[in-house]
Amino acid sequence: MNKYLEEAKAMLKSINGLAEGQTDEKIVNNKDAFPWWNGNGVFYKAGLILRFADSVYKVLQDHTSQNDWTPDVAVSLYVEISLEEWPEWKQPAGAHDAYALNAKCSHNDLHWISDYDGNIWEPGVFGWHNPVDGE
């Protein structure tokens, strides 16, 4: 096999290993160690950590990138790694990004905690409670 291809594969394996067993805090605080997302037909393996804009994302499933499948839009392919205690609620696209039991989020200027594992409902509608007023 091509020498450069072998070196690139070894480098990618090393980059993938950086995130193994690391906390979200360590990943976000060391985001410069991870490669930038590229939309030009790059094969991404599930579990890889990538940078996009000013954020860090984890690849959820194997795929080949496309310019219109950016990490901030293609929620079935990527999940943002964030340190925010109350991140803004985003509608889950499926089981891969549903909210876990006790997950926290902000929605409509309120804080919410998930009452269910695999929660796909909008806060204030079902499956969440507001820790301040007990809604």
User: Parallel, antiparallel, or unpaired for β 63-64 and 78-81?
Assistant: unpaired
Model confidence over 72-81: pLDDT tens digits? 999 889 989 9
Find out whether 105 and 89 touch, Cβ atoms under 8 Å: yes
pLDDT tens digits for range 24-53: 899 999 999 999 999 999 999 999 999 999
Three-class DSSP category at 39: coil
pLDDT of amino acid 61? 92
Q: Two tokens at 114?
A: 């998930």
Note the CATH number of domain 1-82: 2.10.10.20
CATH architecture of 84-135: Ribbon (2.10)
pTM over 0.75: no
* DSSP line for 57-76: EEE-S-EE--TT--TTT-TT
Residue extent(s) of CATH 2.10.10.20 domains in the chain: 1-82, 84-135
